[in-house]
Amino acid sequence: MSNFTVTKEFIAELKIAVEARQTEQVRNLLADLHPEDVAEMLYDFNTEDSKFVIALFEGEYAVKILIEIDEDTRDKFLTNYSSEEIAHQFIEFMDTDDVVAIIRSFPPKLKDEIIAHVTDHTFAANIISLLNFDEDTAGGLMAKELVKVNENRNVAQCIDEIRAQAEEVNNVYTVYVVDDNDRLKGLISLKSLILARANERIANIMIHDVVAVPTHAASEEVSSIMDKYNLVVLPVVDAIGRLVGRITIDDVVEVIKEEAEKDYELMSGITESVESTDKVWVLSRARLPWLLIGLLGGIISSRVIGVYENQLKIHPEMAFFIPLIAAMGGNAGVQSSAIIVKGLANNTLGTRDIFPKIAKEFMVALINGLVCSIIILTYNLFMSDSIDLSLTVSVALITVIIFASILGTFVPMLLDRMKIDPALATGPFITTTNDLLGLAVYFLVGRLLYATF
């Protein structure tokens, strides 16, 4: 297929043809498009029109369109098909991992009906076995389709095996070598097969150093391993080392995207995964908890200000810098926590040496605090005739930045050690905490300094 730019005019023309059910016209318009492009355009169509478009294609092309549609839209779309139609028109043309990703969220009865209609019993059995794994583990991500050969075979026999098995595998990234008990022993490159003699034993030319993961490995661990070793495919073994499946890079990309979306939602103060198309109550339920926490933080902040009411009566000019102190504390804390969360996510940062990391962050905060404090001191000296206020704001600012930065470093590491997603520390939690901290420090410094002057 050639490269093609989808324009608004093209979509409008396609809609007209689809609504008129002009089969040949629609086929001609979509002839140069990749399945991914077709899937993207279907978001502008209603369910019946989408069904008409997909029905024009058969087998793997239709399946690729379906896979690219987001989960919620796909689930709604598939309700227009019977379990038998889903099995014969889509499921039987998919890899097992894609099947499991699609039907895992279905009601148990519908799930069983779809699998019952699958004509290949081995394929159906593989689907059932994958459904037994948690979706956030290697077992839940893997596909059963792969190419493997016995270590005792020779090259000629290996090539015959590859030809036979490759019919069931869409992409042959590598050939795995197993022993008589199906335990993973290594892998063999296609280059080695081409260059080796026909009677050469596979065990003599295979690569023994192979990276694999157990079925129970967490999806985050899988993505980390594939990133570390630059792998496009990763074998999965069971408790006794038998080869049971493989995970391809496209599945890991999905995991990375989902993790990034989840972290972004946590940082934004959203407690569950939601889409803009979800119902009003679902969206409200996801946002309300952290809004309530923020409200509580605001109430406590007002009480902190109330405690220092007399101080504000004597020095009302201090009120002018309350927003600045609170904002700078929140920003400094979020910056520190964001760096720590990033390090924890890509495994470049451990949680054992907490104090050296806090010490390093202290030095960074000290430098940043000094620069900001000097700037605000200079500003106040020019704009205000109160040296007391100028020094109070500057000292409070550097103190708040240091405390907020240390808190932003410590909290995500503590959450990670407690097995809680550290991304939580970059959201409203750290902002609200630092607002309270900033106000308390500001007024405390003000009381101490004004009492001194």
Please tell me the predicted confidence (pLDDT) of residue 119. Answer: 92
Give CA–CA dist 160/97, Å, rounded.
26
Q: What is the pLDDT of residue 358?
A: 80
Q: What is the pLDDT of residue 274?
A: 63
Q: What is the pLDDT tens value at each position of the chain, 453 positions in all?
A: 455 567 788 888 888 998 898 888 988 888 878 888 888 888 778 888 888 888 888 778 888 888 888 777 788 888 888 999 899 989 998 989 999 989 998 999 999 999 999 999 999 999 999 999 998 899 999 999 999 999 999 999 988 888 888 777 777 778 999 999 999 999 998 888 888 899 999 999 999 889 999 999 998 889 889 988 889 899 999 999 999 999 988 888 888 777 777 766 666 666 666 666 667 777 777 777 777 877 887 788 888 888 877 777 777 878 888 888 888 888 888 888 888 877 777 666 655 567 787 888 889 999 999 999 999 999 888 887 778 888 888 998 999 999 888 888 888 888 777 777 776 666 677 777 877 888 888 888 877 776 554
Contact in structure between 210 and 235 (CB atoms under 8 Å): yes
Q: Which amino acid belongs to residue 96?
A: T
Residue 196 backbone phi and psi in degrees, to 5: -80, 160
- Of the candidates 315, 279, 296, 297, the one whose C-alpha atom is nearest the C-alpha of residue 389 is 315
> Is beta strand 184-188 parallel, antiparallel or unpaired with respect to 175-178?
antiparallel
- What pLDDT does 186 receive? 93
What's the pLDDT score for residue 12? 86
Return d(Cα 317, Cα 297) in angstroms, integer. Answer: 24
Query: In this predicted structure, what is the pLDDT of residue 129?
Result: 93
Single pTM value for the model: 0.69
**In sequence order, which ranges of 1-142 are alpha helices (DSSP H)?**
8-19, 23-30, 35-41, 47-55, 59-68, 71-78, 83-89, 96-103, 108-116, 121-131, 138-141
Query: Pairing state of beta strands 243-248 and 184-188?
Result: unpaired
**Architecture field, domain 8-132:** Alpha Horseshoe (1.25)
Distance of CA 396 to the CA centre of its chain: 38
Q: Please provide the CATH number assigned to the domain covering 280-452.
A: 1.10.357.20
Would you state the structure tokens that stand for residue 9, as one six-digit string? 């005019």
- Reported as a single tens digit per residue, the pLDDT across 237-272 is 999 999 999 998 888 888 877 777 776 666 666 666
Q: Residue 311 and residue 446: Cα distance in Å, rounded?
A: 8
- Per-residue confidence (pLDDT) for residue 3, from 0 to 100: 58
- Looking at residue 153, its pLDDT comes to 92
The single-letter DSSP state of residue 320 is G
**Bridging pattern class, strands 213-214 and 233-237:** parallel
pLDDT at 426: 64
Fold topology of 148-249: CBS-domain (3.10.580)
The predicted pLDDT at position 271 comes to: 62
* Cα–Cα distance for residue pair 358/129, rounded to 1 Å: 46
- Kindly tell me the burial class for residue 130, based on how many C-beta atoms sit within 10 Å of its own C-beta (0-12, 13-18, 19 or more): buried
Alpha helices in 96-218 (DSSP H): 96-103, 108-116, 121-131, 138-141, 155-166, 190-195, 202-205
User: Which pLDDT score is estimated for 359?
Assistant: 84
Amino acid identity, residue 6? V
- Phi-psi category of residue 199: left, alpha or beta, with phi > 0 → left and psi -120 to 50 → alpha: alpha
Interacting residues of 155 by C-beta distance below 8 A, sequence separation 6+: 193, 196, 197, 198, 199, 200, 202, 205
pLDDT of residue 137: 94
Q: Which residues have C-beta within 8 Å of that of residue 241, sequence separation ≥ 6? A: 183, 184
- Report the run of H or E that residue 177 belongs to, with start and end: strand 175-178
- The pLDDT score that the predictor gives to residue 27 is 87
pLDDT confidence of residue 123: 92
pLDDT at 363: 92
Q: Can you give the residue ranges of every domain in the chain?
A: 8-132, 148-249, 280-452
Question: 40 near 71, Cβ under 8 Å?
Answer: no
Cα separation of 124 and 115, whole Å? 6
Q: Is the dihedral of CA 104, 110, 116, 117 positive or negative?
A: negative
- Which amino acid, 251? D
Residues 255 and 232: their CA atoms lie apart, in Å, by 14
Nearest 5°: the CA angle 202, 210, 93 is 85
- Report the greatest alpha carbon distance in the chain: 96
pLDDT in tens, 139-184: 999 999 999 999 999 999 988 888 888 777 777 778 999 999 999 9
